[in-house]
Amino acid sequence: MIEGILLNDFIRDKKVGAVVSTSGNVTKKMMSKIDFNEAKILVEYGPGTGIITKQLLAFMREDAVLFVFETNENFVDMLCKINDKRLIIINSDAEDAQVILKNRYKLEKVDHIISSIPFTFINETKRKSIIYKTFSLLNEKGKFITYQYSLLIHNLIKKQFSETSLKFALINLPPVFIFEAIK
C-alpha cells in the first residue's frame, strides 16, 4: 500500500525523491549517529510516509521534540496518523525551517537535523540555502544526517561543516550514501 502511494506521489510531486520506502538498514545506520540520551530537539526534513520519523520517536527521550517539515499533502495526512505528542508536523519546505522554528516556536537552535529530501532534484541556489540554513540552525556540535542517491552535495557539506563522514549503504533499493556532518 505505502509503495503504491510513494510511486503515485513520485510521479506527481517533483519534491518526492523515492519510489520505495527507506530500508531498515539505512534507517538503523542513521539512528546510530544520534545520541538519543542527549538529543532534545530534533528536526526532520522530508519525512515522507514516516519510516524514519517512527524510528526517531521510538528512540527519543520522553521530553524530546521532533519537528518534521513535509510539503506533500498526502504524506502530511499519513504523518498526522502517528499518535505521539512529541511530534510536530509542519506543512512547509525545509528551506523555511529556521524562520518557522524561530518565529512560531521561539527556537534558535536544534540538536540534530535528519533529512530525506532529494537534493538532486533541487536547484543549486536552493541546495546551498538549505545546507547553510541547516548549519546555522544547529547547536554547537549539532549533527546533520542525510542519505542521498548521489554525491552531489558532498563538497557543499564539506565546505560548510567542520567534520563530515560518508558511508555507502548497499542494502537499499537503490543503494545510498549516508552523510553525517557535525557543526
The radius of gyration of the chain from alpha carbons, rounded to an integer in Å, stands at 15
Amino acid 169: pLDDT: 76
Backbone angles phi, psi at 113, to 5 degrees: -125, 125
pLDDT tens readout for residues 108-130:
999 999 999 999 989 999 999 99
Best CATH choice for the domain 2-182 from the list 3.40.50.150, 3.90.930.12, 3.10.180.10, 1.10.357.10: 3.40.50.150
> Which comes out higher in pLDDT, residue 148 or 9?
148
pLDDT tens readout for residues 44-81:
999 999 999 999 999 999 999 999 999 999 999 999 99
Element (H, E) at 95: none
CA distances from 3 to 71, 91, 115, 165 (A): 18, 22, 20, 30
Element (H, E) at 73: helix 73-79
Amino acid 174: pLDDT: 75
User: What mean pLDDT do residues 99-112 have?
Assistant: 98
